[in-house]
Chain A
Amino acid sequence: MKLLRKLQSFLHKAKRDAEMAEEMRLHVELQAESNIKAGMEPAEARYAALRQFGNVAVIQERAREQRGFVWLDQFAQDLKYGARLLLKHPGFTAAAVTVLALGIGANAAVFNLVHSLLFAPPTYARPAEVLRVLSQDRMNPRQVRDFSYPAYREIRADHALFSDTLASALLVVGVGGKDETRGTPAAVVSANFFSVLGVAPAQGRAFLPEEEVPGSTSPVVIVSHNFWRKRHFDPGLLGSPVLINGRSFTVIGIMPEGFTGTTALFYTQLWLPLGVYDQVTGHEGRSALADRAGTALMLLGRLKPGLTAAATSSGLRVLEASLERQFPAEQKDRQLALAPLSRFASNENDAAVAWVGVLLLGMAAIVLLVACLNLANMLLARGTARRKEIALRLALGGGRGRIVRQLLTEGLLLALLGGTGGLLLALWLSALLTASMGRMIPLDLVWTAEPQPALLAATFGFAVLGTVGFALAPALRLSRADALMHLKDQAGEDVAPRRWKYLPRQPLVSAQIALSLALLTAAALFMRSAVQAGASTMDTGLEAGGVYLVEVDAGLGGYNQSQAQAIYRRLNERFAALPGVESASPAIDVPLGGMDFERKVFRMAGPDTGNSTASAKWNGVGEDYFKAAGLPLLRGRSFTAAEVADAGSPPVVIINDLLAKQLWPAGDAIGQRLQLSGAEAGPTLAKGAGEAMEVVGIVPAVRHNLFESQPSPCFYLPFVRGFASHVFFHVRFSSRTPDSEAANIDLLRRVVHEVDPALPVLALKSFRQHLDGNIQIWTVRTGAMLFAVFGGLALCLAVVGIYGVVAYSVARRTREIGIRMALGARPVAVQRMILGEGAVMVGSGLMAGLLLALVIGKVVSSLLYRVGALDPVAFTLAPLVLALAAFFACWLPARAATKVDPMVALRTG
């Protein structure tokens, strides 16, 4: 009832205002009449009545305040007034909105990235209860591995710790028909996978226990909602066949929308039962799944209700002991450990990446802070010009609270405009980043550039935060009621003591310069780091000019191992026979490819001075690999064609000089023999481990990984012995070939198509492109780019801020400058005075900034690539650039000051 009345009075505002005016007019008339009756002259009576009544406008305003929803009314007024003001000063508005949009946009984009990368919760139920079980080397706890299926059965049977345990192996499978095969992320999982995660298929059913057992080759698949969407939500998908690695699987279930499986960053698209593991991994003929030495299965246990991760250690020791009894060989010297599931599907700790995210957020926050400082400055400067307006309003009876509210509303209006701009900017930046990352890894990322509720909320939050940040302090300062002084004040005249005019603004600018310098230095450090990383891809140790990479995987096309080897042999012959091609060879690994194979090797014989065992990277290669990859043999010979093609030929190995030095530090490695250890992850060797192999050649070391400071020990096996269906053909074109990269790539693609049109080609590029496209260099470069953008933004904002303050001070002191010049000051002296004042402001900011930069340098030093925390280049360049820009920003208004004509200045002042 009351609300209704309030609403009515709010809605009939105009009528009520008219009535109120009429009512008060009557009041004054009646008062005047009563004054006449008391004996006054009519004119005087009316005047007295008006005086008695008081300030009509104020009374009306206060009466209006009694009405319903008055705050809404006033807010609308403020909004209208604010919008009019903004339209009246388009230059100021554009500058302010741009500054804000940059600040908010940078924050929203980083928030979007960090949120989906680090903080978006996993898509399974009660994630805190789910822990990963790992097998740790007792001697070297950093060396961890996963489990075999038999070991998994053993661990699952134990219910002391976990209510249930699932097993899963992530892999890439080829999905599609004969003409087009797409590599798709999939997981081969135990039957209880979905029940342990607590998410049931939205349609269809989960896997049955019998579909999990080794040897059961039940061809069934559960697909993700994303997969279904890519099939345009085909209502007939359930029950229909899908071609996976050349075999037909029946879709028995579709997962609910948003479910990504155990991966947090990208969508696992398909789930297959463990029973088909051997089929989809190309282990025909023998069961890799049933192998007790296997390490392919990641185990996730759901803790029993009420059990905390800390309280598990005794149970873990019991489980460990029983596992060691069951698997005396495989679990020798190993212990069990629990770890939270990595968001990045890696064995590493997520903390480092989380750290980068926090750092990025911090940097973005500094940009917003700088933007706010800048805007506060602009508002203050403009507010000083508006002093008269505000003083007038205060004098006419406007309340201070109302004026602060009005100024805040104007700020909010700016922030909303800036926020809208920022949102667009954030979406654009996100689209840019996801596109760039999408080129890098062909996965369906959870991180998207679509506006999500979290992003919208964050943007709005940043806008409101910004309003408080930049509008509140100026509003409070400007509305202070030293009103009369400003009414008398002449426009643009600087009459108050100078100390008070400039001091309050200067700290803002100095703070801004300090923050900008810190950001700029961080940006310089990261850019140096990117340049270093870029340069270091150049010296992998390979002579890579003219080399092209053809990445294929016959396994994804459904070919078995012997078929694949036959195709690869034909393909390599065709490549080698191409005009302009010097040599060609398959290899199962490529330096800086983001993945390495590693294995333990043992020395068989020889003088007993070196290590008897070493851990080494390895590669399976063809006979011309060293020619094609540009790796000159230091000693000995390469493989022969027979050794590469025939698994029955005597076992030989080629090692790099580092491994040679480690195993045979004194003697000659050629002719010595070494042996490989058994159970390790990675491609299986055609002949079992433990076979003694003769070293026939030594090659220089190559860097496999951007982040390893030194090349590592490495050995090479003939292709047939170290085989994987995922192969990189290295094709070296003669440097005399005039054709362009694109033409060569086209030529190679045609050859692949002629040999087998159904062979899935995963990538075709020059080695140069491969190095540039390396995920590690991408990370370093993208990081550097983000920081550079932040640093650049901060620099621009700082320059704008300095220029604004100095130019404004010159404008207000036109008269003073005029007088100085009239009294004989030379333009140079005036210029020096203005510059000197600027230098104090900039200098103090730079000092503070340098200290801040030292701190930031220490903080980010662990993320830098071959750049010290106190890198002299970065610490010289950043202050220099900022100082130069600041000098320029001071110099422009200082020069304008010398152009002041004393006569004009004095007359107009």
Chain B
Amino acid sequence: MANNKADLLQGTLDLLILKSLQLEPMHGFGIAVRIGQMSQDMLTVEQGSLYPALYRLEEQGWIKAEWGVSDNNRKAKFYALTASGRKQLTAEEQSWAKLSTAINFVLNGT
């Protein structure tokens, strides 16, 4: 199963989900598609990780879910950022930036 991979990606996946919801509320499939698009198809989100992550973020209170109607008139569950979710997104973006800069320094240093 994708167990180990998901665990490694956990922190990043949360960040990606929060980021994809920054503009508008979306349903689960939409989030997966959006992450694909935004990464220019370099990242695919495993469903096995996506839904547990969504439920975890909801438990944390960073996103909230509401039933709505999708583009093609289907009943769907839409996830939206909450106020604390936005704060969390900013924080995670900053810490990611720091981390990637640091890693770049290390990689370029030699």
- Interface residues of chain A, those whose CB is within 8 Å of chain B, are 1-2, 5-6, 9, 19-20, 22-24, 26-27, 29-31, 33-34, 52-55, 58-60, 62-68, 397
Contacts and interface: CB of A to CB of B under 8 A. Distances in A.
A68 B29 CA distance: 24
B28 A27 contact: yes
Q: Chain A binding site: helix, strand, loop or mixed by DSSP?
A: helix
B59 A66 contact: yes
Interface in B37-75: 46-48, 51-52, 54-56, 58-61, 67, 70, 72, 74-75
Nearest to A64: B55
Nearest to A62: B52
Contacts of A31: 29
26 contacts: A2-B59, A2-B60, A6-B59, A9-B59, A19-B77, A20-B51, A22-B77, A23-B76, A24-B47, A24-B51, A26-B29, A26-B74, A27-B29, A29-B74, A30-B29, A33-B72, A34-B33, A54-B2, A54-B46, A55-B1, A55-B48, A62-B52, A66-B52, A66-B55, A66-B58, A67-B55
Contact of B76 (A9, A26, A33, A62): A26
Contact of A54 (B32, B48, B59, B77): B48
Interface of B: 1-2, 27-29, 32-33, 46-48, 51-52, 54-56, 58-61, 67, 70, 72, 74-77
Nearest to B2: A54
Contacts of B33: 34
Given A2-B61, A52-B47, A26 B52 contact: no
B47 A63 contact: no
Contacts of B51: 20, 23-24, 59-60, 62-63
A23 B67 CA distance: 10
A52 B32 CA distance: 12
A141 B26 CA distance: 93
A787 B58 CA distance: 61
Contacts of A9: 59
A60 B54 CA distance: 12
Contacts of A65: 52
Contacts of B28: 23-24, 26-27
Nearest to B56: A66
Nearest to A399: B3
A6 B59 CA distance: 7
B55 A1 contact: no
B48 A59 contact: yes
B72 to A, nearest CB: 8
Contacts of B61: 1-2, 5
B66 to A, nearest CB: 11
In the A-B complex, the 3 residue pairs with the closest CB atoms: A66-B55, A66-B56, A30-B29
Q: Choose among B52, B60, B74 the residue with the greatest number of A CB atoms under 10 Å from its CB.
A: B52
Nearest to A1: B61
B47 A53 contact: yes
Nearest to A31: B29
Contacts of B48: 54-55, 58-59, 62
Contacts of A26: 27-29, 70, 74-77
Contacts of A59: 47-48, 51-52
A346 B20 CA distance: 83
Nearest to B30: A30
Contacts of B55: 20, 63-64, 66-67
Contacts of B29: 26-27, 30-31
Contacts of A33: 72
Contact of A27 (B1, B47, B52, B56): B47
A34 B51 CA distance: 19
A27 B33 CA distance: 11
Given A27-B29, A58-B1, 16 more contacts: A2-B60, A22-B77, A23-B77, A24-B47, A24-B51, A26-B74, A27-B28, A27-B32, A30-B29, A31-B29, A34-B33, A54-B47, A59-B48, A62-B48, A63-B52, A66-B58
Contacts of B56: 66
Contacts of A20: 51, 55
A374 B45 CA distance: 51
A27 B74 CA distance: 11
Contacts of B47: 24, 27, 52-54, 59
Nearest to A16: B55
A55 B2 CA distance: 11
Contacts of B59: 2, 5-6, 9, 66-68
A397 B27 contact: no
Contacts of B77: 19, 22-23, 26
Contacts of A54: 2, 46-48
B52 A397 contact: no
A838 B31 CA distance: 65
Contacts of A30: 29
Given A9-B59, A24-B51, A397 B1 contact: yes
A390 B48 CA distance: 23
Contacts of B46: 54
Nearest to B60: A2
Contacts of A53: 47
Which of A24, A27, A33: most chain B CB closer than 10 A? A27
Contacts of B52: 59, 62-63, 65-66
A549 to B, nearest CB: 79
Contacts of A60: 51
B59 to A, nearest CB: 6
A63 B67 CA distance: 18
A710 B38 CA distance: 102
Nearest to B32: A27
Nearest to B44: A52
A66 B54 CA distance: 9
A182 to B, nearest CB: 69
